[in-house]
């Protein structure tokens, strides 16, 4: 009983942090309609900042508390700057670009934290005066957590007071239901948006700063917290501060008891089951409102550029020939680089089917790439299948997972879809990461080598080339099939598409499965090329990479995917030669791409091509 109470209290203390972060995310989304993926980064930054301030301020024991106050303010200021300089430009842009831009901020802040604080885990200072434990029913309970339990409701009450008792709060709530009307009543939306963004980041920052003495500070805090936050808001309902509270308490308490009763591998499953149940019953969350006339990522992608680029056959033949001849002329290192590019081409090409053709903005596509890789490794190591069989079956593992997760995801659209794909990918990541007995946890699985007959670099290269050519032609075929056209029709206008007899959800699910299959094939190619698999194949940065490749190439053309994969990988090789902060550079590239080349490289060429043809008559 005592253990039960203490565990409940621990869960509630955790819930307070989740609530602070989630309510900030939810408020920002409610007013600006932007899902701020960088929200977790502000949380992480505030935690690091607070720990440094606490050490540096010359106030004795009061330094800690001064730091807890100052760090969130600093982070909120940064949030305001980012809103004014970056986000303000993209409120009317397609949500794909909004999300990518906030993702760029994730990458830059992530590397900034590594730059200033290093990659070693840090422990924050303990809170003066609150560092001990108090006995509760004979069990020891940290004093600090008790303080948090008292502070949390106060903060929730304060937030309620601001939202319901101040003019500014009333404006925020009004704008959440009808922004345009608020403008017509004389309210300058620009400042309202900035204000909400500052408030939201302050809440995230406060959570981070308060969390500082409780947990180890790590450079993956951002992705951990953002995924939990997504789960909270998906359960509670986007745009509702009370939904955030409800979702946070449910998740916090469930997690606390999960630790107690469930084996480590299955702790996440319980959250997943809760989320799935909520989504089935109320796709818009417990306290959220149903989306009106939902947008898909395709919404604004309709303004397709000019004509369609159809390179003559000899171009393809030439490229293929070059790829056949090249490896015998290249040093071994570059043969492996080419193999990686081929694996990524499959990965990006399959994502292109989802994002470009289907208008489904997936932020967790690495899950299927990674499950393909793990499928191959596990089938060979655990099921003792011969390598070629494992290689061929691996994509099916990925496709099965995609169909399973997809069944939930296709119930949603737009940014909700994106959040859910990311949440599922993160769950898959966590399972792989924690299930030591089966997947080896973060030690990965080693010795995943191709069969002896395929082991020579050039031989394996030809296998990879065969897989990539077959996979990409199949994807191309699917894109041009009645199914592909139907998928595009559903992207362009879901309601119209339903009204010509198409079950949009089931078509999207099929697309999800197909994309999962080919991502899995890419993963299998990658696994045997590296000879090992690691959990980070399923990680969020990996998912972002695939999106960047697709965006680099242009999301409208399948041909863009291999181009994007090649450009990306070569950039990676070149840039990592000069700096260890590749992610920050990638973030910069993303910002540049979103602002300068919204149609990607191939899209850019297509538009030029169309204009050239037009001028030639």
CA dist 221 and 25 (Å) reads 16
Two tokens, residue 149:
């339990």
Phi, psi of 615 (to 5 degrees): -75, -25
Question: Shortest approach of another protein to residue 284 CB, angstroms?
Answer: 15
- Residue number with CB closer to another protein (291 or 492): 492
- Residue number with CB closer to another protein (304 or 442): 304
The 3-class secondary structure across 118-183, one letter per residue, is CCCCEECCCCCCCCCEEEECCEEEEHHHHHHHHHHHHHHHHHHHHHHHCHHHHHHHHHHHCHHHHH
**Among positive and negative, which fits the CA dihedral 426, 269, 278, 252?**
negative
Question: 414-434 and 387-409 are packed helices; what angle lies between their axes, rounded to 10 degrees?
Answer: 140
How many residues make up the chain in this entry?
617
CB 7 within 8 A of CB 73: no
Question: Shortest approach of another protein to residue 114 CB, angstroms?
Answer: 41
Question: Shortest approach of another protein to residue 236 CB, angstroms?
Answer: 16
Q: Per-residue b/e over 112-140, b at no fewer than 16 CB within 10 Å?
A: bbeeebeeeeeebbbbeebeeeeeeeebe
Nearest alpha carbon to residue 112 among 203, 41, 188: 41
Question: Shortest approach of another protein to residue 177 CB, angstroms?
Answer: 5
- Residue number with CB closer to another protein (200 or 484): 484
Question: Shortest approach of another protein to residue 541 CB, angstroms?
Answer: 31
CB 562 within 8 A of CB 518: no
- Residue number with CB closer to another protein (122 or 173): 173
Nearest alpha carbon to residue 240 among 178, 183, 189, 173: 173
DSSP assignment of 250-316 equals HHHHHHHHHHHHS-GGGHHHHHHHHHHHHHHH-TT-SS--PPSS---GGGGGGS--SS-----HHHH
Question: Shortest approach of another protein to residue 182 CB, angstroms?
Answer: 6
- Residue number with CB closer to another protein (165 or 577): 165
- Residue number with CB closer to another protein (495 or 611): 495
- Residue number with CB closer to another protein (268 or 509): 509
- Residue number with CB closer to another protein (93 or 502): 502
Phi, psi of 382 (to 5 degrees): -85, -40
Phi, psi of 322 (to 5 degrees): -60, -40
CA dist 616 and 332 (Å) reads 45
Question: Shortest approach of another protein to residue 500 CB, angstroms?
Answer: 4
| H or E segment to which residue 217 belongs | strand 216-217
Question: Shortest approach of another protein to residue 613 CB, angstroms?
Answer: 14
Question: Shortest approach of another protein to residue 525 CB, angstroms?
Answer: 22
Question: Shortest approach of another protein to residue 350 CB, angstroms?
Answer: 14
Interacting residues toward another protein by CB under 8 A: 167, 170-171, 173-174, 176-178, 180-189, 301-304, 477-478, 480-486, 488-489, 491-493, 495-504, 507, 510, 514
Write the burial class of residue 19 (CB in 10 Å: 0-12 exposed, 13-18 middle, 19+ buried): buried
- Residue number with CB closer to another protein (133 or 481): 481
- Residue number with CB closer to another protein (183 or 441): 183
């Amino acid at each position: 009983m005592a253990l039960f109470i203490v565990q409940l209290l621990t869960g509630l203390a955790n819930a307070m942090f989740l609530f602070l972060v989630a309510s900030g995310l939810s408020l920002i989304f409610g007013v600006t309609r932007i899902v701020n993926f960088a929200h977790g980064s502000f949380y992480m930054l505030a935690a690091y900042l607070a720990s440094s301030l606490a050490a540096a301020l010359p106030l004795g024991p009061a330094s800690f508390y001064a730091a807890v106050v100052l760090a969130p303010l600093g982070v909120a200021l940064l949030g305001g700057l980012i809103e004014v300089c970056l986000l303000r430009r993209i409120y009317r842009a397609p949500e794909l670009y909004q999300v990518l831009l906030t993702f760029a901020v994730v990458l830059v802040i992530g590397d900034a934290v590594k730059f200033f604080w290093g990659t070693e885990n840090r422990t924050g200072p303990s809170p003066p005066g609150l560092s001990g434990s108090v006995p509760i029913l004979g069990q020891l309970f940290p004093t600090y957590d008790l303080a948090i339990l008292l502070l949390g409701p106060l903060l929730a009450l304060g937030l309620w007071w601001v939202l319901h008792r101040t003019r500014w709060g009333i404006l925020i709530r009004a704008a959440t239901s009808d922004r345009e009307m608020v403008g017509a009543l004389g309210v300058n939306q620009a400042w309202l948006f900035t204000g909400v963004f500052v408030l939201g980041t302050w809440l995230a920052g406060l959570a981070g700063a308060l969390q500082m003495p409780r947990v180890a500070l790590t450079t993956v805090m951002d992705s951990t917290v953002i995924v939990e936050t997504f789960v909270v808001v998906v359960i509670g309902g986007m745009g509702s501060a009370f939904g955030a509270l409800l979702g946070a308490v449910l998740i916090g308490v469930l997690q606390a008891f999960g630790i107690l009763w469930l084996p480590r591998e299955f702790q996440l499953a319980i959250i997943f089951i809760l989320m799935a149940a909520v989504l089935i019953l109320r796709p818009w969350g417990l306290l959220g409102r149903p989306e009106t006339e939902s947008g898909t990522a395709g919404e604004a992608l309709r303004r397709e550029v000019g004509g369609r680029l159809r390179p003559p056959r000899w171009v393809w033949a030439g490229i293929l020939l070059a790829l056949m001849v090249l490896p015998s002329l290249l040093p071994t290192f570059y043969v492996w680089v080419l193999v990686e590019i081929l694996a990524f081409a499959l990965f990006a090409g399959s994502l292109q089917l989802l994002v470009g053709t289907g208008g489904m903005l997936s932020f967790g596509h690495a899950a299927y790439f990674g499950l393909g890789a793990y499928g191959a490794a596990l089938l060979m190591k655990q099921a003792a299948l011969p390598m070629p069989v494992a290689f061929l079956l691996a994509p099916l593992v990925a496709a099965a997972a995609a169909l399973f997760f997809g069944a939930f995801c296709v119930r949603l659209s737009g940014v909700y879809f994106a959040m859910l794909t990311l949440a599922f990918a993160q769950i898959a990541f966590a399972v792989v990461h924690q299930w030591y007995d089966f997947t080896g946890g973060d030690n990965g699985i080693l010795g995943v080598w191709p069969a002896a007959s395929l082991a020579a670099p050039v031989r394996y290269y030809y296998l990879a080339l065969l897989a990539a050519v077959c996979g990409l032609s199949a994807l191309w075929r699917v894109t041009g099939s009645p199914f592909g056209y139907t998928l595009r029709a559903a992207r362009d206008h879901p309601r119209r598409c339903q009204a010509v007899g198409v079950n949009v959800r089931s078509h999207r699910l099929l697309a999800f499965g197909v994309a999962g299959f080919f991502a899995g094939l890419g993963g299998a190619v990658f696994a045997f090329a590296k000879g090992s698999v690691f959990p980070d194949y399923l990680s969020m940065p990996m998912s972002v990479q695939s999106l960047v490749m697709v965006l680099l190439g242009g999301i409208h053309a399948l041909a863009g995917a291999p181009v994007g994969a090649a450009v990306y990988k070569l950039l990676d090789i070149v840039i990592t030669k000069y700096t260890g902060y590749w992610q920050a550079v990638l973030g910069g590239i993303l910002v540049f791409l979103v602002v300068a080349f919204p149609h990607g490289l191939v899209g850019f060429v297509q538009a030029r091509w169309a204009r050239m043809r037009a001028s030639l008559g």
